Chain A
Amino acid sequence: MSLHQLTAHDLLDVFKSRQATPKEAYDAVLERIKAVDPKVKAYVRLAQHKPEFKGEFQIPIAIKDILCIKGEETTCASRILKGFISPYDSGVTQRVKKSGGTILGIVNMDEFAFGSSCETSCYGPTYNPWDLKCVPGGSSGGSAASVAADEAMWALGSDTGGSIRQPASFCGIVGLKPTYGRVSRYGLIAFASSLDQIGPLTKDVRDCALLMNIISGYDDRDSTSVNEPVPDYTKALVNDVRGLKIGIPKEAFVDGLDAQVRRSVEEALDLLKKLGAIVKEVSLPHTPYAVATYYIVATAEASSNLARFDGVRYGLRALPSRIRKNALVDMYEETRSKGFGDEAKRRIMLGTYALSSGYYDAYYLRGQKVRTLIKNDLDEVFKDCDVIMTPTSPTVAFKVGEKISDPISMYLSDIYTIPANLAGIPAISIPCGFSKSGLPIGLQLMGKAFDEEMLLRVSYTYEQNTQWHTMKPKI
């Protein structure tokens, strides 16, 4: 096996036995990027600042273009932030650097994380390493594709409604959205502040635990960061699910779920049952309303968060050729009209509408109330279950261009992942099979708040008893 193909934990063993140096590993992955990225297009730019090669975990990593890295351009895949060189490091990139992490470059995403396919990026789409005609999922599509194509050992992404888990599923890798507050959001360009969470995309579950150890923990620069002790997540990697209770929501296995995805998830369930887990049918009656709730709550928060992009301080500034209203308002409108893509405009307008006078109670307030109902459903089920299992996405990766003109069908791609964001609980996607056309299928496990360890334990057990995570795409 070549260096670039290794998992992060295998690479650490290689370093320990002195078969290769961190610099050699870094260069090997850069070579891999040169070889395959012209096809995959996961990266939007390589890091300007080369690593120091110091520290315990000198693992080559890809960073989503939504996380500020000191001295690097950070654009959220939007024209409006072109040229923005971050003067500071986000909490997570600071932790990654401190641990020794060697940043390869910045990877593609949907503009401002608005999308499930990586197609709304101002840089153009990223392609799925398993089938270059298909999308890698989104919004962290570049993160997932880079890891799946061995163009990074691991990557960081962010997840507001499924943006780590759905692309991980589409690309056949592991993706974890931690509990809200587990990982600092300082320096994460905000989409929906009550839902956003940063997390790892990795080649296997052990790497997921290792990267969680690096990025988790309290940060006083993020007032929603939770000051709870961080366990050693690798201790949760126990190959044993005997007696654990897995809840299967009956609402998850309905129309719209691809037959091959359903079969793979059911087979995974049978395996876990054989390994001693107890499977229980449960009900989450309000989850069918999750997508509608999300598109009110998330867009309302987004419309407020994105108000800061106005051409006044940084990024793009555009001025109209003639005065329309007054010089300043004209600058805001021209900058935002030229700077944002259509999906960003659509979501900003939708959120503005939901918050506007006369509609606030009917949309935003009602959305927040239904959010409570969805959270209550999950709380109730977790009284008697250790994890809840569903497919990660109702389908495998779709073709580039297939859903881009139909926002609602795109939004429904996140039907299984959104409830975890609304409830703030952790959820993981792990590979569980392939479709007939050779595209990866993922299953999702949701857990109780701050119980990432349970998700890792069940995932690790499943992984130890299957081979899906070892499969590699031919690019």
Chain B
Amino acid sequence: MSITKEDVKYIAALARIDVPEDKLEGFTKTLGDIVHYVEQLQKLNVDNVKPTSHAVPVGNVLRPDVIKPSFTNQEALAIAVEAKDGSFKVPLVIE
């Protein structure tokens, strides 16, 4: 399984990253090398092996539903790139 420039463009679009033409070749090569490297896992028989998503088994963790102090609107917006009327502001999406 090799990675083509078209694959990289497709993955980049999924990841919301814009890869300029002059970087495409480099990313295609390094990503191809890594995918080739991880393909060694195909050699192993994993039939009947359960996947591990967490080394320490954790299920749903519940806590009592108690109201605690949290950020004020002002504190939360203090880090905003742009804010208006108590909200984060983004570029106009719909005319």
Question: Interface residues, chain A, CB within 8 Å of chain B?
Answer: 84-85, 87-88, 179-181, 194, 220, 223-224, 226, 286, 289, 291-293, 295-296, 303, 307, 310-317, 319, 326-334, 336-337, 340, 342, 345-346, 348-350, 352-353, 356, 362-363, 365-373, 375, 407-408, 422-425, 449
Contact = CB atoms under 8 A, between A and B. Distances in A.
Contacts of B42: 362, 366
Contact of A289 (B12, B44, B79): B44
A292 B37 contact: yes
A461 to B, nearest CB: 27
A314 B19 contact: no
B27 to A, nearest CB: 7
Contacts of A220: 63
Contact of A345 (B17, B35, B58, B79): B17
Contacts of A179: 56
A84 B34 contact: no
Contact of B51 (A330, A369, A449): A369
Contact of B81 (A311, A345, A371): A311
A345 B90 contact: no
Interface of B is mostly: loop
Contacts, number: 163
B50 A372 contact: yes
B14 A356 contact: yes
Contacts of B90: 312, 328, 331
B22 interface: no
Contacts of B71: 87-88
The 9 closest A-B pairs by CB, nearest first: A424-B55, A368-B51, A327-B91, A369-B46, A223-B61, A314-B79, A337-B18, A317-B81, A292-B38
A289 B76 CA distance: 44
B67 interface: no
Given A327-B93, A328-B93, A356-B14, 18 more contacts: A224-B54, A226-B56, A293-B41, A312-B81, A312-B90, A313-B88, A333-B17, A336-B17, A337-B17, A337-B18, A346-B31, A346-B34, A369-B52, A371-B52, A408-B37, A422-B52, A423-B55, A424-B54
Given A327-B92, A328-B93, A370-B46, A349 B27 contact: yes
B54 A292 contact: no
A459 B26 CA distance: 43
Interface in B2-55: 7-8, 11-12, 14-20, 23, 26-27, 30-31, 33-35, 37-42, 44, 46, 49-55
Given A87-B76, A303-B15, A349-B11, A328 B91 contact: yes
A348 B81 contact: no
A363 B53 CA distance: 14
Contact of A336 (B16, B52, B54, B61): B16
